[in-house]
Amino acid sequence: MKIASTTSDFRTIPSDDHLERVRHIAKAGFKYIDLSFYDIDKKNSPFMLENYKEYVENLKELANELGIKYVQAHLPNCNPLDEENFDEYLECTIRAIEICGMLGIENAVIHTGWMDNITKEQYFEMNLEALKPLFPAMEKSNVNVLIENSAKANMGNKYFFFTGADMKEFIEYVNHPLLHACWDLGHANIEGHQYKDIIALGDDLRALHVHDNYGKSDQHIALFCGTLNMDEVMTALIDINYKGYFTFEADNTISFGQTWQLKRRKFEKDTRLFNPSTEMLDAAEKFLFEIGKACLSAYGIYEE
């Protein structure tokens, strides 16, 4: 199994400089990159400007220069059940899928929509309708879109995918050959189960989000800094003959000043240490790589 990491690890680098983010991930030892469109900005992102194809060509050239490969992506963080912002969601998400196709990225993770006071049946119906407009772009670009599990600690009373069985049921309900699953280990750690979910997903499991927490909230920290049991995970992955990448999403291993679950008090007289420096992030990225390599090597499945 090969190890990847996400460009969101270096989000203190300006959001329009994905090239520099990729350079830092490669410097840490990663040969495989998860390209994050998570916070794509319709007005300012280089991926949404008229000359976006030139920017994508620059990413291709950089990959050749560094000897790395783009293997996974995270589509924009939008709620497709939010009717007011649906058109913007659709435009940004279709563009991201198109770019995945241009870069040879086969798997792109999406958040399905959420809403208060709906049943599981309504959730399935509404999210199918929200996904349908993506099908032409998926088919044209030959990109798998992967639904992701969450945790009740994140979603409150909103119905979402908390188990592998529910995700499998939805994939079969949609019945599109390019719709599959990403299993988020950190979210599952909060829910308290991994093995049965990974087994339930089986061949539909095409990607992972690898990160840890203390089992209470969504922290996105490095493995072995929390309570996640990696023996359970590794056994399940081997039992289903998982063929995807071991992709870190531990982008708060060194936490930023203002993130969803981790907010640092600001001292107005001086903020030079409010966010970690790029040098700190470089060290954390190397740490992630070594942890990933150790996990896979322990089970004899590490690949360069």
Say if 130 falls within a structural domain.
yes
Average pLDDT estimate for 281-290? 98
Closest CA to 77 of 262, 273, 259, 267: 259
Radius of gyration, alpha carbons of the chain: 18
Average pLDDT estimate for 243-260? 92
> What pLDDT score was predicted for residue 282?
98
> What pLDDT score was predicted for residue 66?
98
Domain, as residue range, for 146: 3-298
Longest dimension (CA), the chain: 56
pLDDT of 119 over the 90 cut: yes
Measure the CA–CA gap between 95 and 90, rounded to whole angstroms.
Answer: 8
Say if 132 falls within a structural domain.
yes
Number of domains forming the structure of the chain = 1
Instruction: Tell me the pLDDT tens digit for each residue of 129-162.
Output: 999 999 999 999 999 999 999 999 999 989 999 9
pLDDT of 106 over the 90 cut: yes
> What pLDDT score was predicted for residue 122?
96
Do 39 and 75 meet the contact criterion of CB atoms below 8 Å apart?
A: no
CATH number of the domain that 230 lies in?
3.20.20.150
Say if 162 falls within a structural domain.
yes
> What pLDDT score was predicted for residue 261?
73
Average pLDDT estimate for 70-82? 95
Say if 304 falls within a structural domain.
no
Burial of 148 (0-12, 13-18, 19+ CB in 10 A): buried
Measure the CA–CA gap between 182 and 207, rounded to whole angstroms.
Answer: 5
Beta strand spans in the chain (E): 3-6, 32-36, 69-74, 107-110, 144-148, 179-184, 205-209, 246-248
Instruction: Tell me the pLDDT tens digit for each residue of 169-228.
Output: 999 999 999 999 999 999 999 999 999 999 999 999 999 999 999 999 999 999 999 999
Average pLDDT estimate for 65-77? 97
**What ranges in 132-277 are assigned the alpha helix state H?**
135-141, 152-155, 164-174, 185-191, 195-201, 230-239
Say if 269 falls within a structural domain.
yes
Say if 303 falls within a structural domain.
no
